[in-house]
A = this chain, B = another copy of it.
Amino acid sequence: MIQNFDYHTPTRVIFGKGVVEQLPEVMKPLGKRILLAYGGGSIKRMGLYQKVKDLLKDFEITELSGIEPNPKYDPSVLEGVRLCKENDIEAILSVGGGSVLDCCKAIAGGAKYDGDPWDLITYKEETKAALPIVDIMTLAATGSEYDAGVVISRTETNDKVPYQSPYLYPVCSFLYPTYTFTVNAKHTAAGVADAFNHVLEQYFCSDHNMVADGFCEALLRTLIHYAPIAIAKPDDYEARAEIMYACMYGCNGILELGNSPSGWPMHAIEHALSAYYDITHGEGLAIITPRWMRHILSPRTMERFVSLGTAIYGIDPNLPEKEIAEQTIDRTYKFFESIGLPMHLRQVGIDESRLREMAAHVKEDVMQQGEQYVVLSEDDVYGILHDSL
């Protein structure tokens, strides 16, 4: 049965070739004093840094650089909040991937709050305002460009926590697929795995509907079709563009409108992996996904596997259901493997030493709270992790 929903994504998306030229007119109504945030040197190498500086020559720019993958509360969020307060920043421009943007969202909330921003991230205090955010994406993966969510890591406590507030939707996201041409094969594949998993997290639920299913399947087919092309030919505009477009819908809720909650279990497990070992999020998800699927396969969940496998892999619907489900899991594993993703934890430097500790931590992950499609015990999580070695 279709569930009630309350949906609102106010973000404007400007997508395509050359769109970044519109940056000044988008920024102008937001203010003159801008925090320009980015990660490492890639935006300088591709000329985007200079391009942005040229476009914003009439603005007062304060820079925050060096934002990490799996962005860190300390130093990046704290440093960004300090810069915003000291320089009376009016708007934030994120140039980079989802990590940079997530960091900027946390900064945007923190800049409008008098206390410790961790209070907001952990919902101890309600987020009641945020600086406006604009972003230029250089990686197709997280969907952060079209959602109001953030994932922030705190190293000293091995925490990697999700944080949401309606104030955190970007005002405008620029998606210029050409800026993803220089993303290497490893991160292209990891981005695809991240987006693929976002869709699966929402597809596997008790109450679903035909519109949601069809939207999810369309995105998965797109990722399956274009990922190998983008990896084989990194400057294939169409492949990069279709992937970038598909990724945008990952996390803003549109894929689960009318569905019952799923609990996002694979993300909960992966967040422990990257909190403990700082691995690439999409790689962790690729490893976890087929093991989680196998773990939850049961007569109750069978219909989801059959629906998925026939729709995205074209598996013959006349086969026995169990066989369709098994093939669906195998095809998912092989798809990830075929685009060069590591498929074992050992390949990303994780051995069995801390699996128990991580399984315990997952139970505390807020994503594991609330309704779950298949409730996982600590032993279940341990089993999935162990199968992933």
User: Is A19 an interface position by the 8 A CB rule?
Assistant: yes
CB-CB under 8 A for A245 and B3, given A8-B13, A215-B214, A219-B214: no
User: Is A12 an interface position by the 8 A CB rule?
Assistant: yes
User: Is A211 an interface position by the 8 A CB rule?
Assistant: yes
A4 contacts across to B, CB distance below 8 A: 15-19
A1 contacts across to B, CB distance below 8 A: 237-238
Q: Give bound CA distance, A66 to B257, whole Å.
A: 34
A5 contacts across to B, CB distance below 8 A: 13-16
A257 contacts across to B, CB distance below 8 A: 15, 245
CB-CB under 8 A for A14 and B10, given A214-B214, A242-B211: no
A218–B221 CB distance below 8 A:
no
User: Is A11 an interface position by the 8 A CB rule?
Assistant: yes
User: Is A319 an interface position by the 8 A CB rule?
Assistant: no
A242–B209 CB distance below 8 A:
yes
Q: Give bound CA distance, A221 to B213, whole Å.
A: 11
User: Is A69 an interface position by the 8 A CB rule?
Assistant: no
Identify which of B16, B19, B211, B221 contacts A210 (C-beta below 8 A). Answer: B221
Q: Give bound CA distance, A10 to B211, whole Å.
A: 21
A214 contacts across to B, CB distance below 8 A: 214-215, 217-219, 221-222
Q: Give bound CA distance, A4 to B176, whole Å.
A: 9
Could you say which of A18, A211, A238 has the most chain B C-beta atoms within 10 Å of its C-beta? Answer: A211
A298 to chain B, nearest CB (A): 24
A242 to chain B, nearest CB (A): 6
Q: Give bound CA distance, A367 to B2, whole Å.
A: 35
A372 to chain B, nearest CB (A): 21
**Contact flags (1/0) for A20-45 with B, using CB distance below 8 Å?**
00000000000000000000000000
Q: How many chain-A residues does the 8 Å CB contact rule pick out?
A: 41
CB-CB under 8 A for A246 and B211, given A14-B6, A19-B4: yes
Could you say which of A6, A8, A214, A215 has the most chain B C-beta atoms within 10 Å of its C-beta? Answer: A214
Q: Give bound CA distance, A8 to B18, whole Å.
A: 18
B258–A245 CB distance below 8 A:
yes
Identify which of B2, B12, B219, B237 contacts A7 (C-beta below 8 A). Answer: B12
User: Is A377 an interface position by the 8 A CB rule?
Assistant: no
A241 contacts across to B, CB distance below 8 A: 2, 209, 258
CB-CB under 8 A for A219 and B225, given A2-B245, A13-B8, A241-B258: no
A237 contacts across to B, CB distance below 8 A: 1
Could you say which of A2, A5, A10 has the most chain B C-beta atoms within 10 Å of its C-beta? Answer: A2
Known contacts A6-B19, A8-B10; can you find 20 more A-B pairs with CB under 8 A?
Answer: A1-B237, A2-B16, A2-B238, A2-B242, A3-B16, A4-B15, A4-B16, A5-B14, A6-B13, A6-B15, A7-B13, A7-B15, A210-B242, A211-B219, A214-B214, A214-B221, A214-B222, A215-B215, A217-B218, A245-B257
